[in-house]
Amino acid sequence: MRAAALLVVTLLLADQGFAQQPTGSGRPKGKPRSAESAAPAVSGAPAVSGAPAVSGAPAASAAAAAEPHAGLPAGHPGVGATTPHGTGSAAGAPQGPTPDEVALDPTLPSGTIVVVLVDGDDRPMAGAPVILDVDRNTVAQGESHEEQTVRVDAEGAARFDALKIGSGVTYRVRTTRGEASFLSPSFSLKEEGGTRVLLHAHEPVTALEDAMLVMEVFVILEIKQDTVRVNHLLRAYNLGRTALVAKGLSMTLPSGAKAFSQEQSTGNVNLRERGGEVTFDGTFVPGQVEMTYGYTLPLESGPNLKLALPLPPRVLQAQVNVNAGPGMTLSVAGFTPAQMTRRRDGQRVLQAVRQLDPSRSPTEFLANMSNGSLELVVGGLPSSGSGPLVAAGLAGAALAVGALAARRTATRADRRELAEELEEARDTLLAELAALERAKGSGEVGPKSYERLRTALLDALARVLARLEEGKAST
């Protein structure tokens, strides 16, 4: 997906006349030196760890993703702050605004913060307000918050002195311009020197049609006992030189959706849910922001799961993953045929991808203000919606496949394939036994269901282990 993203960045900017260079006249006073270096190129799209490339997808989509972050489901793309601005790795990719920066400066006294506030062309924002947030979290004093507000001078600079040093105190610089808000990452002060902060306050716009905002979406489905957890990673790129105030951007959750939560955001945009409507709140500054969020849907009984999942407008590319066993299928309208891949832990994953349609012109794409949706069907589910019973069904399917292969032939290659299937079934059953114990402890599974499911899982595990021992004895 990285190659396609870089291509569309170039096309979109060229089409809309945004490929010009910044018009600032040099480095503002107090600007950290390292901020002059080019920003990272658009990051590659996350993929299931260790998964082979999807047919028809750029090779970059097959790159191994970072290990899952805490609180995200296994296999979920990691969240990391990057920006699509800079020279990029593709020929002709335009250079965007200079990125914000927080940098240690040994030439400043420790306990000092120097802020330089500039516009999108690196021109000083003379007289604009700057707010310093001070957050304390210590064992002795607990949690507290205070703010210091000053106005920058004619060169866009402001200085804060005699500030506390240490990991128990964190700082953040922010400002406003019109309805837009701009903020730096949180940071702590060091003994080795002071800190310089470069913060941009870009020209704000409030309508999507006036912004160069595009999206990528990654979805992972977790099929559990009687429910489906839908986990989204939304990656938004503001490719222009203005800041979009999120107004009127919203999505309607599917009927029956519960337990909406936003896990993480790398920028100044959050999601608010009220009455089944999810709205964007904050400012999309030039660059990239990533948000992870999810919700739970009821799982109806039957072999097929049909879902219609909401998407924001201007989605360039999308990917859907679902953990799967033998016999399961995934079909998503408008996507490439799903392929079976594996995570690093060996779990099978069905993966479907929709990439940018090259026949659509940039102008046509940007003119579309309508929300999209994902229409998908997961087939081949066991008749029960119980997570542990799904595992037992997968283990039984693995045994059936292995038994059939053993009857058909007894070559060394077939025995090795059978052993791999049995080992996968063993690991799945052990994981489900652990999940069952947790479900019992949390009250999600009652005593009768617990005993019934535990007996079924232990019986399946015993049969798997017996077959593995038979295989070892025959070699």
Q: Are 234 and 291 in contact (CB under 8 A)?
A: yes
- State yes or no: pLDDT of 232 exceeds 90: yes
pLDDT band (50, 70, 90) for residue 196: very high
Whether the pLDDT of residue 95 is over 70: the answer is no
pLDDT at 201: 96
What is the model's pLDDT at position 319? 95
Judge if 263 and 360 occupy the same domain. Answer: yes
Q: Are residues 178 and 254 in the same domain?
A: no
User: Is residue 11 scored above 60 in pLDDT?
Assistant: no
The stretch 280-304 carries a mean pLDDT of 91
Q: Which domain range does residue 466 map to?
A: 387-474
Entry pTM: 0.66
Do 122 and 17 lie in a common domain?
no
In this structure, the answer to whether residues 272 and 212 fall within a common structural domain is yes
Partner residues linked to 129 by β-bridges: 151
Q: Considering 337, 354, 379, which residue would you say is the last residue of a domain? A: 379
| pLDDT (tens digit per residue) in 108-153 | 999 999 999 999 999 999 999 999 999 998 777 788 999 999 999 9
Task: Give residue-wise pLDDT tens across range 404-447.
Answer: 344 334 456 666 767 777 787 788 778 878 888 887 887 767 78
Q: State yes or no: pLDDT of 57 exceeds 70.
A: no
Same-domain pairing of 178 and 239: no
Higher-confidence residue of 355 and 174: namely 174
Q: How far apart are CA 286 and CA 15, in angstroms?
A: 17
Residues 211, 197 share a domain: no
In a shared domain, residues 113 and 191? yes
pLDDT of residue 395: 44
Q: Which residue has the higher pLDDT, 45 or 222?
A: 222
CATH number of the structural domain spanning residue 154:
2.60.40.1120
Residues 252 and 320 in one domain: yes
Same domain, 212 and 347: yes
Mark whether 45 and 179 lie in a shared domain. no
User: What's the total number of domains in the chain?
Assistant: 3
Specify which of 224-233, 273-282, 452-461 reaches the highest per-range mean pLDDT: 273-282
Within a domain: 305:
yes
Do 281 and 367 sit in the same domain of this protein?
yes
Q: How many CA atoms lie within 13 A of 262 on its CB side?
A: 16
| Residue 61 pLDDT greater than 60, yes or no | no
* pLDDT category of residue 266 using cuts at 50, 70 and 90: confident
Q: What is the residue-wise DSSP string for 45-103?
A: PP--TTPPPPTTS-GGGGSPPPPPPTTSPTTPPP-----S-SS-SSTTPPP-PPPPEEE
pLDDT of 162: 95
Residue type at 376? L
Q: Is 207 helix (H, G, I), strand (E, B) or coil?
A: coil
Among 185, 201, 217, identify where a domain stops.
201
Asked, for residue 65, whether it belongs to a domain, the answer is yes
